[in-house]
Amino acid sequence: MRASHQQDLKLTPYHNDYKVGWICALGKNKVVAQLILDEIHPLLPIPPGHSSGYVLGRIRNHNVIITCLGDGAHDTTAYALLERQIFFTFPAIRFILLVSISGGVPSSNADIRLGDVVVSQPTGKAGAVIKYDLGKLPSSGKVKRTESQNHIPDFLLTVLATLQEDHGLREHQVVKHLSNIQKTLPGDLPGIFSRPEEDCLFKAGYTHIIPDDHITPNSCPNCDRSKLILQPK
């Protein structure tokens, strides 16, 4: 009986067994994040007054906690408070990832569009994460950076380098993984997270024409089609 009890304790993760934190900016991001978990764990006690919206689980051999910001709480203060609560409740957390959906930032050097998967990394000129408000806008119209975030831990940079090597040697698996997740979506989620029937890509400087009664964000019936960018199939 004692051996069996010890085995059960070993199989049940506790606060100190979680090493990875994952913050979602929106609740619907959190719904999809849970589909990546290989296993969902029972909830653990949370200190009074702290966020109770945790999802606990495992990805491969990593125990992960997933949570999200409250509705309308998307400023830096809200992020900092949630981060402190995570480290207090799960003291063995090694790092926290912020995973969310952002708008595109196309440029001549990096054509980043909505729908692309982007992982930031540091360069010789700047750190991996640059806050949008840590800069100034001179007369040229281009944002001049004035500050960046703290250095990313070396072990994460090593993992990133390994991931890049893996993508270089083998066929990318991102589309395959996303397709598999799409098949497991319950209820109405497949329609919510599916790609639009028509995916129009306009030039970055084009201003869209959206009438007041137009509520379909994935189509542009009144926009100038001559401003479209032809995309490779």
Indicate whether this model's pTM tops 0.75: no
Domains and CATH numbers, the chain: 14-103 (3.40.50.1580), 127-171 (no CATH)
- Burial letters for 179-200: b for 16+ Cβ neighbours within 10 Å, e otherwise? eeeeeebeeeeeeeeeeeeeeb
The per-residue pLDDT for 9 is 42
Q: Point out which residues pair with 62 in neighbouring strands.
A: 59
Write out pLDDT tens, residues 170-222.
666 777 777 777 777 777 776 666 666 777 778 877 887 776 655 455 567 78
At residue 104 the predicted structure's pLDDT band, cuts being 50, 70 and 90, is low
